[in-house]
């Protein structure tokens, strides 16, 4: 696919090209240094002790036994835990989450830290943790969507509205000639990046160095500074590589803060790396949802109302709610539109952002409901979606900054062969007798910009250096951002050194919300352009230069040289210009952010359409996704190979959501009983076949200077619903609970 890309997707000479990731060899040969690969002298190993009840209090810890174990250096419990300067129960800064850091003996969820053991070896600390042999006074756990009384959410996660209404919803319901009223459920899911959370903390006086995977490198300085009472500048965070983040590595958590505290308490560097099972609790997850969707249509099958309510689990002590109902905003034209979020407090860790937070769960339900409505209307699912295509943002009426969704539908459908889809379910079989079904879903994801800064340097030898504290979670920031920077400097990629992943560099913003390339890339572009402008000023003002008099706007930068526009014979290299000007490097700075005015004039989203084929055994109901075609329009694509990988990764995540992932709770104890990779299923290679991604170029003059939207999360969106719809099409059974399991189809078949 990459070689047939339209020229429009190329700007400069680096962007638009499918460069292989620059950190790939270091990663596959094991030379890339991840946080836990650091072993400073004098290191102590920390193991946190997870609560094995979900609610109650710790009544006893056998500290003496743990301390007596050879190699145990310290045991930290609420009884001796040094004070933190910032209260973990407080909301001391933007995006602060409350967390447990041994402030008292209360247990609010299973796997909450109740002690931290430090050892000279990991083994000693592990055994010390076991010897603590916690005793509890347990109370009955409240888990699941029926765990407690729902409450209405006024302000949702990240300040998004909890309740949104456009138009007259009651009138929309009344005007409907046909309607559906459907309830869907999605389970708790736990992010499980390959690299579990890790930190190596080392103090020098009132300065601390943190080697840790971090999605918000510079912002986190302030957060850790807050808890430890030191200015942000005193916190150095080094996060060159992350083995995945998915939203869970942007927010401080109890075990990490305790490890940093332990390093200050002992005066020795401390390393903590979570075990796999410890990922299921203190570091965020996606809450379960129960969503009610009421849709009505008029005689022309246009929606008179799209009414989406969502109830989601959250913790007893903080407020993050998976805002699933918001998935119905911005996408389909409907006479009236309502998104209402409700929360229910359960004895679990606080949920947090997990890849496509809100959109993933919300789209899963919405896209199935859309198909159910289409089926009732007797329309092909694609035809129904096209009839309800929004030309302007529903509710606000804002124009879209760009929206090639129609092309996504058409190109995706064509590639998939959608036109051959029989309307009735249960019509298709393969040669082996498997039921075959086809389904689709629409994908939508907002295209945000955060704030970032960058620095660019043209060196005396004509090469470039760019710096920004961006985060490469495996998505390819080391490569795509360097491509942008190289173009802004008018240099080939291999002439640009890219420094990133450290908090002493200019703020690269948050790697989240699918806005990192746009934001950090925007800052790099501005910084590189600034450096080039400064150098052009020097050259064009220098009578000795062949560029003299051409004026800043009269030259163009390419391949490490300036050329006079329209006269390639007049040119000079960066190195020559700098040498004549005294040999000092030329420094540019830049920043990027979206102004409120820009934001107010357009609705900005990435779009996509996902088509799924599933096969289902007609008697045994084992399911497999055999083909997924996703067509996505996400502005300008900087690196097609990396973008396609991201989109594929998102679609695979969608398979996982649709068919596999689910934390299984013991309802009596509130503990998760499948907290390992043998039990918490995600797709394996054999579950992933026939994956195809099409990217559709959009020129977008409004999202940002580079016309970049995001690709990190949208692959998940749409895919889940497409698979649910395909299973319905294969079997005739509509399962309204994810993940769809063999026994769900069996029960549906047996009636």
Partner 1 sequence: MNLFDYARPTTVEEAIAAWAPGASYLAGGTNLVDLMKTGVMQPGKLIDLNRLAGLDRIESLANGDTRVGALVRNADLAHDAGFARAFPMVAEALLSGASGQLRNAATVGGNLMQRTRCAYFQDAHSACNRRTPGAGCDARGGDNATMAVLGWSDSCIATNPSDFGVALAALDAVVEVEGPQGSREIAFADFHLLPGQTPDRETALAQGELVVAVRLPAASAQLRHHSRYLKLRERTSYAFALVSAAAALRLEDGHIVEARLALGAVAARPWRANDAEALLIGQTPSDELFKRAADVALTGATPSGDNAHKIELARRTAARALALAAIGTPKRMPAFPASLFGEHAHV
Active site residues: 713
Pairing of strands 561-564, 235-238: unpaired
Q: Is 137 in the site for partner 1 (CB under 8 A)?
A: no
- To partner 1, the closest distance from the beta carbon of 224 in angstroms equals 31
Q: What is the DSSP string of 584-641?
A: --EEEEEEE---HHHHHH-B-EEEEEEEEEEEE-TTT--EEEEEEEEEEE-B--S-HH
Q: Which segment (278-286, 542-550, 554-562, 677-685) binds partner 1 by CB under 8 A?
A: 677-685
Residue of 127, 359, 372, 698 that binds partner 1 (CB under 8 A): 127
Q: Between 299 and 432, name the residue whose CB sits nearer to partner 1.
A: 432
Phi-psi category of residue 246: left, alpha or beta, with phi > 0 → left and psi -120 to 50 → alpha: left
Q: How far apart are CA 191 and CA 354, in angstroms?
A: 7
Residue 124 vs 612, nearer CB to partner 1: 124
Instruction: Confirm if 657 and 354 have CB atoms less than 8 A apart.
Output: no
CB of 429 to partner 1, least distance (A): 10
- 3-class SS at 751? coil
Told to check if 68 binds partner 1 by CB under 8 A, we report no
Minimum CB distance to partner 1, residue 432 (Å): 4
- Token readout for 128 is 């010390």
Is 60 a residue that touches partner 1 (CB under 8 A)?
A: no
Residue 352: other Cβ atoms inside 10 A? 24
User: Which is nearer to partner 1, 181 or 619 (by Cβ)?
Assistant: 619
279 lies in the site for partner 1, by CB under 8 A = no
Choose, by CB under 8 A, the member of 412, 521, 683, 721 that binds partner 1: 683
* Least spacing, CB of residue 400 vs partner 1, in Å: 38
Nearer to partner 1 (CB atom), residue 206 or residue 666:
666
Binding-site size, partner 1 (CB under 8 A):
42
**Would you say 276 or 601 has its CB closer to partner 1?**
276
The residue among 423 and 677 lying less far from partner 1, judged by its C-beta, is 677
Residue 83 in contact with partner 1, rule: CB under 8 A: no
59 exposure class (CB count in 10 Å sphere: 0-12, 13-18, 19+)? exposed
Provide the mask over 720-749, with x wherever binding to partner 1 is found by CB under 8 A and - wherever it is not: ---------------------xxx--xx--
Q: What is the dihedral of CA 143, 145, 151, 155, to 10 degrees?
A: 100
Task: Pick from 67, 664, 691, 692 the residue near partner 1 by CB under 8 A.
Answer: 664
Q: What is the DSSP letter of 37?
A: G
- Smallest CA-to-CA distance from 384 within 401, 358, 366, 403 is with 366
First-to-last alpha carbon distance for the chain, in angstroms, is 45
Minimum CB separation of residue 122 from partner 1 in Å reads: 10
115 exposure class (CB count in 10 Å sphere: 0-12, 13-18, 19+): buried
750 binds partner 1 (CB under 8 A): yes
Closest CB 413 distance from partner 1, rounded Å: 26
- CB of residue 657 vs partner 1: minimum separation in angstroms? 13
From the number of C-beta atoms within 10 Å of its C-beta (0-12, 13-18, 19+), residue 548 rates as middle
Please say which residue, 2 or 121, places its beta carbon nearer to partner 1: 121
Q: Does 681 bind partner 1 (CB under 8 A)?
A: yes
Least distance to partner 1, CB of residue 225, Å? 36
Among 18, 105, 106, 121, binds partner 1 (CB under 8 A): 121
**Cα→Cα distances 557→11, 490, 523, 570, 714, Å:** 13, 5, 19, 12, 35
Q: Which window, 126-134, 299-307, 316-324, 705-713, contacts partner 1 (CB under 8 A)?
A: 126-134
Using the CB atoms, write b or e for 591-607: b if 16+ within 10 Å: bbbbeeeebeebbbbbb
Q: Of 60-68, 369-377, 510-518, 668-676, which part binds partner 1 (CB under 8 A)? A: 668-676
**Least distance in Å: CB of 41 to partner 1?**
22
- C-alpha to C-alpha distance for 682 and 106, rounded to whole angstroms: 33
Q: Identify each DSSP E strand in 634-739 by its residue range.
A: 665-666, 671-672, 691-696
Please state the closest distance from residue 275 (CB atom) to partner 1, in A.
Answer: 9
Q: Which one among 236, 497, 674, 705 touches partner 1, defined by CB under 8 A?
A: 674
- Can residue 433 be called a binding residue for partner 1 (CB under 8 A)? yes
The DSSP code for 278 is G
Of residues 438 and 450, the one with the C-beta less far from partner 1: 438
How far apart (Å, rounded) are the C-alpha atoms in residues 508 and 46?
A: 30
- Which two structure tokens, joined as six digits, stand for 541? 């003002």
Whole-number minimum distance, CB 374 to partner 1, in Å? Answer: 29
Under 8 Å between Cβ of 596 and 498? no
Strand partners, 152: 342
What are 38's two structure tokens? 């650091």
Per CB under 8 A, 494 contacts partner 1: no
Give the tokens for residue 72: 């145990």
**Near partner 1 by CB under 8 A: residue from 70, 82, 422, 549:** 70
CA torsion sign, 483 to 487 to 488 to 489? Answer: positive
Shortest CB 622 distance to partner 1, Å: 5
> Which among 36-44, 295-303, 432-440, 539-547 is the span making contact with partner 1, rule CB under 8 A?
432-440
Nearest to 618 by CA among 440, 747, 426: 426
C-beta closer to partner 1: residue 28 or 684: 684
Q: Establish if 666 lies at the interface with partner 1 (CB under 8 A).
A: yes
Contact status: 375 vs partner 1 (CB under 8 A): no
Q: Is 434 in the site for partner 1 (CB under 8 A)?
A: yes
What part of residues 177-196 is at the interface with partner 1 (CB under 8 A)?
Answer: none
How many of the other CB atoms lie within 10 Å of CB of 206? Answer: 11
Interacting residues with partner 1 between 33 and 52 (CB under 8 A): 52
CA distance 414 to 411: 5
441 binds partner 1 (CB under 8 A): no
Binders of partner 1 among 335-354, rule CB under 8 A? none
Among 37, 123, 206, 567, contact with partner 1 (rule: CB under 8 A): 123
Shortest spacing between CB 620 and partner 1, in angstroms: 6
Establish if 142 lies at the interface with partner 1 (CB under 8 A): no
Q: How far apart are CA 712 and CA 496, in angstroms?
A: 25
Q: Which stretch binds partner 1 (CB under 8 A): 358-366, 448-456, 599-607, 673-681?
A: 673-681
Q: Is 299 in the site for partner 1 (CB under 8 A)?
A: no
Cα–Cα distance, 36 to 212 (Å, whole number): 8
Q: Which stretch binds partner 1 (CB under 8 A): 368-376, 387-395, 504-512, 612-620?
A: 612-620
Q: Which two tokens stand for residue 259?
A: 């490890």
Query: Counting contacts by CB under 8 A, is residue 266 touching partner 1?
Result: no
Distance CA 277, CA 749 (A): 36
Cis preceding linkage at 14, omega within 30: no
146 binds partner 1 (CB under 8 A): no
Cβ atoms of 107 and 136 within 8 Å: the answer is yes
57 binds partner 1 (CB under 8 A): no
Q: Confirm or reject binding of residue 690 to partner 1 (CB under 8 A).
A: no
Could you write out the DSSP letters of every residue in 403-420?
--HHHHHHHHHHHHTGGG
104 counts as binding partner 1 under rule CB under 8 A: no
Among 99, 665, 680, 738, binds partner 1 (CB under 8 A): 665
Residues that bind partner 1 (CB under 8 A): 52, 70-71, 121, 123-124, 126-127, 130, 432-434, 615, 617, 619-620, 622, 624, 659-660, 664-668, 671, 673-674, 678-679, 681, 683-687, 741-743, 746-747, 750
């Amino acid at each position: 696919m990459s070689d047939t890309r339209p020229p429009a997707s190329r700007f400069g000479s680096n962007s638009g090209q499918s460069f292989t990731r620059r950190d790939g060899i270091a990663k596959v040969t094991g030379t890339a240094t991840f946080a836990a690969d650091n072993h400073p002298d004098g290191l102590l190993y920390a193991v946190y002790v997870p609560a094995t009840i979900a609610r109650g209090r710790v009544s006893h810890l056998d500290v003496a036994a743990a301390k007596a174990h050879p190699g145990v250096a310290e045991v930290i419990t609420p009884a001796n835990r040094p004070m933190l300067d910032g209260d973990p129960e407080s909301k001391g800064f933007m995006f602060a989450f409350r967390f447990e850091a041994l402030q008292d003996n209360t247990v609010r969820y299973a796997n909450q830290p109740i002690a931290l053991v430090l050892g000279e070896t990991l083994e000693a600390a592990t055994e010390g943790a076991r010897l603590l042999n916690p005793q509890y006074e347990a109370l009955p756990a409240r888990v699941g969507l029926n765990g407690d009384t729902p409450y209405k959410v006024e302000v949702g996660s990240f300040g998004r509205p909890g309740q949104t209404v456009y138009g007259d919803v009651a009138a929309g319901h009344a005007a409907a000639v046909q309607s559906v009223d459907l309830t869907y459920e999605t389970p708790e899911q736990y992010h499980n990046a390959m690299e579990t959370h890790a930190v190596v903390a080392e103090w020098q006086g009132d300065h601390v160095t943190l080697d840790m995977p971090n999605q918000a490198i510079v912002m986190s300085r302030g957060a850790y500074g807050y808890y430890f009472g030191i200015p942000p500048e005193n916190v150095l965070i080094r996060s060159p590589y992350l083995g995945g983040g998915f939203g869970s590595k942007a927010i401080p958590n109890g075990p990490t803060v305790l490890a940093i505290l332990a390093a200050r308490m002992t005066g020795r560097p401390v390393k903590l790396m979570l075990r796999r099972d410890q990922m299921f609790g203190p570091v965020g997850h996606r809450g379960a949802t129960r969503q009610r969707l009421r849709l009505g249509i008029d005689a022309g099958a246009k929606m008179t109302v799209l009414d989406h309510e969502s109830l989601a689990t959250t913790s007893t002590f903080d407020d993050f709610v998976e805002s699933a109902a918001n998935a119905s905003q911005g996408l389909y034209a409907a006479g009236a539109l309502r998104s209402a979020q409700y929360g229910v407090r359960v004895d679990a860790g606080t949920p947090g952002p997990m890849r496509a937070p809100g959109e993933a769960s919300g789209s899963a339900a919405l896209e199935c409901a859309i198909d159910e409505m289409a089926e009732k209307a007797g329309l092909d699912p694609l035809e129904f979606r096209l009839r309800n295509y929004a030309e302007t943002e529903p509710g606000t009426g804002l124009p879209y900054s760009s929206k090639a969704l129609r092309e996504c539908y058409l190109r995706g459908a064509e590639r998939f062969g959608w036109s051959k889809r029989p309307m009735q379910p249960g019509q298709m079989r393969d040669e082996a007798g498997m039921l075959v079904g086809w389904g689709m879903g629409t994908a939508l994801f907002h295209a945000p910009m955060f704030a970032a800064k960058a620095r660019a340097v043209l060196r005396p030898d004509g090469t470039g250096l760019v710096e920004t504290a961006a985060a490469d979670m495996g998505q390819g920031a080391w490569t795509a951002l360097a491509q942008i920077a190289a173009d802004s400097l008018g240099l080939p990629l291999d002439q640009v050194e890219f420094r990133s992943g450290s908090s002493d560099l200019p703020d690269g913003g948050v790697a989240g919300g699918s806005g990192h390339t746009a934001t950090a890339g925007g800052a790099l572009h501005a910084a590189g352009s600034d450096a080039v402008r400064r150098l052009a000023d020097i050259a064009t003002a220098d009578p000795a230069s062949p560029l003299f008099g051409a004026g800043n706007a009269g030259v163009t930068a390419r391949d490490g040289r300036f050329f006079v526009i329209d006269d390639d014979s007049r040119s000079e290299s960066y190195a020559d210009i700098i040498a004549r000007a005294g040999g000092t490097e030329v420094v540019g700075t830049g920043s990027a952010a979206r102004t409120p005015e820009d934001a107010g004039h357009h609705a900005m989203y990435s779009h996509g359409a996902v088509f799924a084929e599933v096969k289902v055994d007609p008697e045994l109901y084992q399911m497999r996704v055999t083909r997924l075609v996703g067509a996505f329009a996400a502005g300008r694509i900087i690196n097609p190979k990396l973008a396609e990988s991201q989109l594929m990764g998102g679609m695979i995540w969608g398979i996982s959501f649709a068919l596999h992932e689910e934390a299984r709770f013991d309802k009596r104890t509130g503990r998760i009983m499948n907290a390992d990779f043998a039990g918490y299923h995600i797709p394996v290679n054999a579950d992933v076949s026939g994956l195809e991604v099409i990217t559709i170029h959009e020129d977008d003059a409004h999202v940002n200077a580079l016309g970049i939207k995001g690709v990190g999360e949208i692959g998940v969106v749409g895919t889940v619903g497409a698979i649910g719809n395909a299973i319905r099409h294969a079997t005739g059974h509509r399962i309204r609970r994810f993940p769809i399991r063999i026994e769900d189809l069996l029960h549906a078949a047996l009636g």
